[in-house]
A = this chain, B = another copy of it.
Amino acid sequence: MKNRLNGDIAEINAALEKYMGVPNEPQKTIYEAMRYSLFAGGKRLRPVLMLETAKMLGGDADVVMPFACAMEMIHTYSLIHDDLPAMDNDDYRRGRLTCHKKYGEAIAILAGDALLNRAFEITSSAGAGDPALLLRAVSMLAQSSGARGMIGGQVIDIESEMRPITLQELEYLQLLKTGAIIRSSCTVGALLSGGSEEDVAAVDEFAKNLGRAFQIRDDILDRIGSDEELGKPTGSDEAEGKTTFVSMLGIEKSEELVAEYSKKAAEALSRFGERADFLKWLADYLVSRRS
C-alpha cells in the first residue's frame, strides 16, 4: 500500500513538473516562486485522493490528472496567502522559508494568484475527456475553493481570532477551510470517472469525514508533535490564541473524534467493496500519522 501511495505521488510530481516549466521570459521570477512553494515537499494528499477515487471507479488517469494537479496548485496558493504577514505571518513552512520570506511579499501574493489562475488554465485546456463533464468538474472545483468553500473558511478563521467561537462554529469553519477541497478532490475524481450520483455522494461522505478526522489529527499534532517532525514550531496555533479542537475538547476527546470520523469515512465506501481497500488504508494512514 505504501508503495502504491509513493507511486501516485511520483506520478503527480511528474505531472506537476510538466505543468510548471520555467519559460525564459522577463517575468520568470513568478514561475520560480510558484515552483518554490509547489515543490516544497507537500504530501500531495488532495491529488492522491482524486487519483485513487478515479481508480476505484475505473476512471482514466489522463482525464483526471490535470484536475489532480490543479487541486494541489489551489492548496499551495492558499498556503502562500495564509502565510503572509497580514494573515498568519509565518516565516517557515515544512522547514523552509515561506514564499514571501524568500521572494518578498509582492511576488508571493502574485505567485499565489498565478497558481490559482494556473489551476483553471490547465483544467480548461486539458483536451482529454467529454467537454460537458470537464466543465462541470471545473465548476465543482471552483465552488469548493471559493467564498462558499475554502476562502469562506479562511475568512471565518481570521474573524474568529478576535473572539471566542463555539464548537459548532469551529466545525463549520473547518468544513469549509480544509474540508471543501478535500471533498471536491474526491467528488471531481468520481464525476470525471463516470461515477453515478450515488457514487459521488458516497465519496463525498467519505471525504467529509476524512477531512474532519484529518483536521483534528492536525490539531493534536500541533499540541504534542515535535518541532522537527512538523517543520514548524508546535503549539503555534494555541500560542496565537486560535481555538482548535484540542483547546476546546482536550486530547482524549479529540482522539475519540478522530476514531469516530475515520470509522464513518470507511463506512461511506462500503458500496465499493474491495475496490475501496486502498482509499480505506489511505484514510487510516493519514489520520494515524505522527507528523
A interface residues, Cβ below 8 angstroms from B: 23, 25-27, 29-31, 34, 77, 81, 84, 86-87, 104-107, 109-110, 112-114, 116-118, 120-121, 124-125, 131-132, 134-136, 138-139, 142-143, 145-148, 151-156, 158-159, 169, 172-173, 176
Q: Looking at the complex, which one of B113, B135, B148, B152 makes contact with A124 (CB distance below 8 Å)?
A: B135
Query: Given known contacts A138-B138, A139-B125, is B26 in contact with A172 (CB within 8 Å)?
Result: yes
Q: Apart from A27-B153, A113-B151, what 15 extra A-B contacts exist at CB < 8 Å?
A: A25-B152, A26-B173, A30-B152, A77-B113, A86-B106, A87-B106, A110-B158, A113-B116, A114-B146, A116-B117, A117-B146, A120-B120, A121-B142, A124-B136, A124-B138
The complex is assembled from copies of this chain, and their number is 2
Q: Are A147 and B30 in contact (CB under 8 A)?
A: yes
A139 x B121 contact (CB < 8 A) = yes
- A155 and B87 within 8 A (CB): no
Q: Is the CB of B109 within 8 A of A109?
A: yes
